[in-house]
């Protein structure tokens, strides 16, 4: 989730470079607050329905409670990366720059 927060922060910096910086509380809330929900949900389901073996042994239907948020974060990171690259390429190809190409 912290990798998602880093990507989100970088996306905000690149997409709106001259916007006023706000507090980082939103990133802390996402990074620390969001992962608590799937962990509590997984622990409660695992304790009540699949508590017969060690929790290291996967219980297939309940493992998706932890896997789906990770997959969504990775997919959103990919979207952020593609958009960041798109913004950087369009800024580098801008026709109105007067810098020599060696500086780009």
Which whole-number Å values give the CA distances from 8 to 38, 78, 83, in the listed order? Answer: 20, 11, 11
Mean pLDDT calculated for residue range 24-39: 89
Number of neighbouring beta carbons within 10 Å of residue 18: 4
**Is 40 a residue whose pLDDT tops 90?**
yes
**Is 72 a residue whose pLDDT tops 90?**
yes
Domain membership of residue 76 (yes or no) is yes
Domain membership of residue 21 (yes or no) is no
Domain membership of residue 17 (yes or no) is no
Domain membership of residue 99 (yes or no) is no
Domain count, the chain: 1
Considering the chain, what percentage of its residues have pLDDT values greater than 90?
Answer: 20
**Is 15 a residue whose pLDDT tops 60?**
yes
Residue listed under structure tokens 């950087």: 88
Domain membership of residue 102 (yes or no) is no
The predicted structure's pLDDT at residue 90: 84
In which domain, by residue range, is 70 found?
2-7+30-91
Burial 51-83 (b: 16+ CB within 10 A, else e): eeeeeeeebeebeebeeebeeebeeebeebeee
């Amino acid at each position: 989730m912290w990798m998602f927060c880093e990507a989100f922060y970088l996306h905000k910096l690149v997409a709106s470079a001259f916007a006023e910086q706000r507090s980082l509380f939103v990133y802390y809330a996402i990074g620390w607050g969001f992962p608590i929900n799937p962990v509590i949900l997984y622990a409660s389901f695992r304790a009540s329905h699949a508590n017969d073996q060690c929790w290291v042994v996967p219980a297939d239907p309940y493992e998706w409670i932890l896997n789906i948020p990770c997959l969504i974060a990775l997919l959103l990171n990919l979207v952020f990366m593609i958009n960041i690259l798109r913004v950087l390429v369009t800024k580098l190809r801008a026709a109105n720059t007067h810098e020599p190409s060696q500086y780009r």
